[in-house]
Structure 1
Amino acid sequence: MNVVFRKHLEEIITLTDTEFEQILLHFTVKRLKKHQFVIQAGSLIDHEYFVISGLLRSSYTNEDGKVHIIQFAMENWWISDYHALITQTNAIFDIDCLEDVELLSLSSGSKKKLCEEFPIMEHFFRVKTTAGYVGLQQRILSLLNNDAQSRYQKLFAQYPVLFQRVPKALIASYLGVSRETLSRLSNI
């Protein structure tokens, strides 16, 4: 676990062994089983999570009861309901485990202390947040501008492992297409 997380951090920043050990003290390990919730809509949350192992899904259920998949998060990804986390309001997303997961959990208070103790972590989080924002913009533009076939091909090219780990019905929901359309797309 420590090797995976350190490698992730050191993609952006450089740390001594002592700094890394002190940084780790701000995180807690959380292990959950498949189908358990990390966050449930309606709950107050105060944590964000780094995925050491496993796969999670973030989803939103609209007023009509339709579930929309917002994000998948696998190894080396961060996940939370960031609007609820930052505004300290109730979560609107459910985040549940599609596989058994091991997470590093970071509370808002611990993150603040961590960034005060290690200003380089402020840089790390800024880079990660910016990358996440860019990814979200690209996803929105893809949904607005690309047909289902293009969205499918792009997702498959970027994350082929998802197609081995995620049921097709969930991939279809993420892409905004029916299960039947996804079957047609995967056969083209």
Structure 2
Amino acid sequence: MEEYYLALRKHIEEISPLTDQEWEYVAQCFTYKTLKKHQFLIQKDELVPSEYWVIKGLLKTYTIDSEGKEHILQFAMEQYWTSDFQAFQNQIPATLFIDCIEDSEFFCLRLENRERLCQEIPKMTNFFRIKSHYGYIALQQRIMSLLTETAEERYNNLIKKLPHLIQRVPKKLLASYLGVTRETLSRLKG
């Protein structure tokens, strides 16, 4: 477990270096959680008490339309933050599902603990601000990709950005993420 906390500290200190005393305060705000493959981290219409930092594993964030079709918004793997951020921040029921593609381990940070951290340790405010900006930029790039790129361009860009993800995600889920059919994905993979 200690190695997990060291990994989290390293992750935070890439943006906001902490003293040992500050780190002790930060660490006690996180709780550890495990889920098995196919278990839900978040289900639509439930409250979302935490945001999650992925220690190990792989998850998908998605919605299901009125016809029952799954639309994947994001994959989250090691060192990614994930949640239904709208539901988490506003303390309203979730509009998204997040479930595990692989057995997964997380650190959970409740909203009241994050707020307390930001009040007590201003460096953490900076950390969360920068991480939020990175997330917003990634979301903006994803939307622009869906609007302006061909399926082949989206696939090739995914291979460049996250080549190891292709090996971990089943073809059906990868096709959903790229907004193509499995047959189209097979053609793209050549």
Q: TM-score range by the shorter chain?
A: over 0.9
* TM-score normalised over the length of structure 2: 0.96
The residue that corresponds to 2:10 in the other structure is 7
The residue that corresponds to 1:71 in the other structure is 74
Q: What one-letter code is carried by the residue in structure 2 that aligns with 1:176?
A: G
* Percentage of identical aligned residues: 51
The counterpart of 1:123, out of the listed 121, 126, 147, is 126
The counterpart of 2:105, out of the listed 91, 102, 105, is 102
Q: What one-letter code is carried by the residue in structure 1 that aligns with 2:103?
A: D
Structure 1 CA distance for aligned equivalents of residues 177 and 133 of structure 2 = 22
Structure 2 CA distance for aligned equivalents of residues 2 and 89 of structure 1 = 29
List alignment gaps of at least 5 residues for structure 1: none
The residue that corresponds to 1:171 in the other structure is 174
Per-residue deviation, residues 33-53 of structure 1 (Å, max 9, x unmatched): 111100001111121000011
The residue that corresponds to 1:45 in the other structure is 48
- Give aligned pairs, total: 187
Structure 1 CA distance for aligned equivalents of residues 56 and 35 of structure 2 = 11
Residue 140 (structure 1) shift: 0.3
Residue 18 (structure 1) shift: 2.3
Q: What one-letter code is carried by the residue in structure 2 that aligns with 1:125?
A: F
* TM-score normalised over the length of structure 1: 0.97
RMSD: 0.8
List alignment gaps of at least 5 residues for structure 2: none
Per-residue deviation, residues 29-86 of structure 1 (Å, max 9, x unmatched): 0111111100001111121000011111101011111110010000000000011112
Residue 17 (structure 1) shift: 2.1
Per-residue deviation, residues 150-172 of structure 1 (Å, max 9, x unmatched): 00000011001111111011010
The residue that corresponds to 1:137 in the other structure is 140
Residue 14 (structure 1) shift: 0.7
Specify the SS of the correspondent of 1:31.
Answer: strand
